[in-house]
Structure 1
Amino acid sequence: ATFDVPAIFGAIAQKTGIEVKGKYGILLPSIRFYREGMAALLITLLLGVVISTIIYYCVLSVKKRQPYSTNTAYIVSFGVIIPACFLLPYALVAMSNIQSTVTRQLICLPFVMYAFRCLEAFFGFSPPTATSSPLKFALYYTMPVESAYNKKDGSVEKATAQDIQRLFFVMVRTAIIMSICFSFLLFYGFEPFRSRNAVGDTLMLKDYLALVHLGNCFIAAIMFQLGLTFTGAYLACLRYALTGDKASDLMRNPVLEATSPSDFWGRRWNKVAHGFLKRGVFKPLRKYTSSFVASLGAFFASGLFHEYIVHLVFIYKREPRPIYTSSCPTEILEYKAQIGYNMAFFAWNGVLIVIEKLMRKHQIMKSIGSALPQSFITVLIIMTALPVGHWLSNPYIRGGHFYDVQQGFPMVVKIA
């Protein structure tokens, strides 16, 4: 079915310089999108069960029996499991020749988590309740969620009917918002403002603070947040269906509610990544060094695995693919992702965390923080990273990731 834009909305859009005349239709989600995604997720989960079994008997059990003899655990962890976790996705992509960036992500992201959860097990920082049996460890190891633990006894909480209703509401609400965003942003290549970065030019120093550039980076941040929020709610429902356990929220509205860099990255953004980085990198480093070094190490590790994702998803055996920019449809670029920018982005944010820890010690900073409105503080926090947000988002926008994601959601498209 097709429809025309109501005249009143057309008049409003015309005043803002947006042309909306024409016929529109609703593009339904692709069945192939979900079929490929579920197949990729199932394969990675099954392989994860195998890996978790090896870790349980060759790392966890060995360290329990011989806490001071770590040769076997060391060889298995660093000589077998961790290299396999980073190499297996390349083999799966090469064998299947999958071009969808979403499916490639579903292949590589679980293995990244598996590698860091292997580090957790080796250094002894896996949650105690997860290591009590092979089955519990397999469930913990393979599920890309952070379990909600009871603060009194450390046990995993069970999800209630209210929890499931809330998750379902979050999924539906987020899907609707994403469909609206895709319907509007697709035509503009997901960069509606014509900044130098959007048209493929090199940025000068002043361009980092240009409103058009900040606007595009903010939209990218919102799109990432929406995608992770939807994914987190879906995975939490999957965890409940399999075990009845409650999962922590993957995202807690970081872009609009964060009160500090550490609040943004530590308590609001991607709790799964935060969890395995904290237990697999931060805590082992903190045991022997300072919190500053441990924080920088965690962000360095985050930068490394994001560079790994960029290479596997957007570079490795990837067929040439034209993409549209904000000048669409008059210009088409063939984008080639570059290595290094994701690392720079997370290194910058690691420095911000260290600066925050240093400034937090001064009473004057506490007084200023308590006097300012929370919304103003959130804007200040976002502005510390927003100018360089394109270092993270460029591969995903230019590499066609959002084009692939939109295939899973209904959207309004112009057909004439």
Structure 2
Amino acid sequence: MQLPEMGDLPHMWTEDTPRGDPLLSFSFQEQTYGFFLFSLPMWVELLTFIVAEACLAALIGVLIYYSVVLHANTSTAYLVGFGVFLPFWIFAPQAAVHAMGISNKIFLFCICVISPTTSLFRITEAIFGFTPPHAKKSVGAYALYFGSPMLLICDPKTQKHVKASWSRIFWHLRRFVTYLFFAGMYQSLFALFPSFFPSFGGPTPDDWHSWEQIRNPWMWKDTILVAILFQVYLGAFGEGLIFFTTLVTQKQTIMLMENPMFESKSPSDFWGRRWNLLVHYCLKNGVYKPVRKMGGTALMAVLSSFLASGLFHEWILPTVFHDNAKLTFGTTSLFFVWQAVLISVEYSPLAKNDKSFLGFVSKLPLPVRTALVVISGAPLGHWFVDSYVHSEFFPQGQMVLMAILLTDKA
């Protein structure tokens, strides 16, 4: 495969970028489709941006170590953390990608979301004194912690990182390639069976946020199908980052996804132990613990964490989807507040009563409980996936996946 000219980067990566000849072709419903491999040049360029940003984060981590970490819970930490470093990570990535002319949604998401998100919450955890002990041992340890796009595992007894064996590293490589295949094949179903799967692109319909759509079971179905696609996307990118991180550092990282859409036992299990565990740990140290430290109840801390999650997802909208025909703010935060309500109900006294409906649900078989967890989030779920569905995010993302694509009429 021929590498693109530097003058073409990163503007060439669109859903219309030629992918060369398919490995094989077949006819389906009077149309011809081809099976294509992922774009290696796009992965190389994407990884280059991620690594460069991670190195920048590590350098900034040195400054944060001396100005915030070593002065946690002081006026210096509050002033420098909230006044300098948080604004930098909020505004600088967006300004940088616009200056470089980057328009591909996947590039915008990876550059403006991965390191900036972890950095924001690692700064707040440092301000309030919740930086992990192993990361505070030295400036080098903190630079590695702050710059790593994935969370390195540390033995709580020895406060040392867990070494990654070569078998573990190649296990992640196999999972990465497997995710590229299954994510691509699943997304291909959206084009092969358009009557069942939702379509991508176009402006948000006027009734998208209406009460009718909230209670529309067909909208629930579409939301769940897109949520599964989102899971395999995060799984693919997560395994790719885990493989590269373990390869470079020779240290194990946490898993990013633990099959939340098909194995969750409850809303808290979904968000706390299965969905995007990197963000979960960031929110736990950067929001939940500080709220508890300031005297907030567990319920207040949970609500604050989900509200913070909603706000940074709102921040993603103008950063990644700035050219969407229609952006709606506030609904994403409401979706996450709804998730906090579900978790609050889960831990309410009513749920502990075996004779209540919630007590009955807790004894149901796991597949049934998982289905109920997913369905409980579906009524407002389309508010969360709005910008991803009504943009070229997934069509452009298909470039880095193995995919079945329409080639021409049969």
TM-score scaled by structure 1?
Answer: 0.84
Which of the numbers 352, 376, 384 marks the counterpart of 2:376? 384
Unaligned stretches of 5+ residues in structure 1: 11-19, 321-334
2:100 to 96, 106, 119: 96
* 8 Å CA contact 1:5, 1:21 repeated in 2: no
- In 2, the alpha carbon distance for the partners of 1:75 and 1:276 equals 21
Structure 2: gaps spanning 5 or more residues: 1-20
Structure-2 residue corresponding to 1:85 = 89
Query: In the alignment, which of 270, 274, 286 is matched to residue 280 of structure 2?
Result: 274
Change (3 A) 1:233 1:30: closer
1:9-408 equivalences under 5 Å are: 20-63=29-72, 70-109=74-113, 110-186=115-191, 192-193=197-198, 200-202=205-207, 205-287=211-293, 288-315=295-322, 318=323, 335-358=325-348, 359-364=350-355, 367-408=359-400
**1:131-174, Cα deviation, whole Å (9 max, x unpaired):** 11111111111112222233544432112344224312321221
CA deviation digits over 1:87-137, x for unaligned, max 9? 101210221121111111122111121111011111111111111111111
| 1:209 positional shift | 4.2
| 1:221 to partner: Cα distance | 0.7
Indicate conservation of the 8 Å contact 1:159/1:240, yes or no: yes
CA RMSD of aligned residues (A): 2.5
In structure 2, do the counterparts of structure 1 residues 237 and 370 end up closer, same or farther at CA, with 3 Å as the change threshold?
A: same
For 1:86 and 1:189, the matched residues in 2 are separated by 38
Asked if 1 retains the 8 angstrom alpha-carbon contact of 2:161 and 2:251, the reply is yes
**Number of residue pairs the alignment of both structures matches:** 381
Deviations along 1:292-318, one digit per CA (max 9) or x if unpaired, are 000000001000000001110001xx3
Residues 242-283 of structure 1: CA distance to partner in whole angstroms, max 9, x if unpaired? 221111110000010111111100110001100110000000
Q: In the alignment, is the contact (CA less than 8 A) between 1:4 and 1:22 conserved in 2?
A: no
CA contact (8 A) 1:311 1:339 kept: no
**Structure-2 separation of matches of 1:174 and 1:27:** 15
Asked if the contact 2:134–2:154 (Cα under 8 Å) also holds between the matched residues in 1, the reply is no
Contact 2:189–2:197 (Cα < 8 Å) also in 1? no
CA contact (8 A) 1:53 1:138 kept: yes
Q: Is the 8 A contact 1:261 1:352 kept in 2?
A: yes
- C-alpha distance in 2 between matches for 1:107 and 1:71: 31
Provide the residue aligned with 1:328 in structure 2.
none
Change (3 A) 1:376 1:45: same
Deviations 1:34-57 (A, max 9, x none): 244123213311220221011111
| 1:190/1:83 CA distance change after superposition, 3 Å | farther
% identity of equivalent residues: 31
- Are 1:179 and 1:410, in contact at CA under 8 Å, matched by a contact in 2? yes
Q: Which moved more, 1:129-138 or 1:249-258?
A: 129-138
Shift of 1:177: 0.7
* 1:189 to 1:285, Cα distance in 2 relative to 1, 3 A: farther
Q: Give the deviation of 1:188 after TM superposition.
A: 6.8
2:405 counterpart SS class? strand
C-alpha change, 1:268 and 1:376, in structure 2 (3 Å) is same
Whole-Å separation in 1 of the counterparts to 2:57 and 2:191: 35
Contact 2:203 2:326 in 1 (8 A): no
Shift, 1:241, TM fit:
1.7
Partners of 1:250 and 1:219 in 2: how far apart?
20
